[in-house]
Structure 1
Amino acid sequence: MSARRNPRPDWVIDRRIALGHRIADLRHRAELSQEQLAHLASMERRSIQRYENAQRDPTYSDLLLIAHALRVHVTDLLSG
């Protein structure tokens, strides 16, 4: 994998971290494991783990699937 020429600004990384925290918080409130959320969202558990740990940026489609599985609106994930 090649390195980015222009690394992401700190504010982008901060928002990715905040998104991961919101996903984890909403998952905990729904009393779901990462495995259960992944199943409900038709995703891999590893993807949920990477999003919660801010290791990857989710696609818009993945955000929609996660929001649907958590029974929240996608803006609840993005805005907190």
Structure 2
Amino acid sequence: MPTRRTTPPDWVITRRRELGERIADCRRAAGLSQDQLADHVGVERRSIQRYERGERDVGFAVLLLIAERTGCEVADLVRGIKAGPGGG
């Protein structure tokens, strides 16, 4: 896998962490372990851990599968996560 040439800006990291927290909240509300969600999504448990900690970007297809399995809407997962450095 190619390595990222530049570190993402701080605002991207912040937004990624916010998304990760929402994924974790939805997973827990659905009564799922990280292993169970990983099995459904088709990734390793480590990937779920990294998504939830905001250490890894979640691809759109994976986000759709997470939403479907947890019963959360994709819009609810990303709602309120502002784009851009000023949040605009």
| TM-score, scaled to structure 1 | 0.85
Query: Which residue identity does 2:52 align to in structure 1?
Result: E
SS of the residue corresponding to residue 76 of structure 1 reads helix
Larger % of helix: which? 1
Q: CA RMSD in A?
A: 1.7
Preserved CA contact (<8 Å) 1:41 1:68: no
Ranges of 4+ aligned residues in structure 1 off by more than 4 Å: none
Paired position in structure 2 for 1:54: 54
Change in CA separation of 1:9 and 1:70 when aligned onto 2, cut-off 3 Å: same
What is aligned with 1:35? 35
Per-residue deviation at 1:63?
Answer: 0.4
**Match of residue 77 from structure 1:** 77
In percent, how many aligned pairs have the same letter? Answer: 53
TM-score normalised per structure 2: 0.78
Question: Which ranges of structure 2 fall in alignment gaps of 5 or more residues?
Answer: 81-88
Contiguous gaps of at least 5 residues in structure 1: none
Count of residues in correspondence between the two structures = 79
State the structure with bigger RCO (CA 8 A, min sep 6), 1 or 2.
Answer: 2
CA positional deviation for 1:61: 0.6
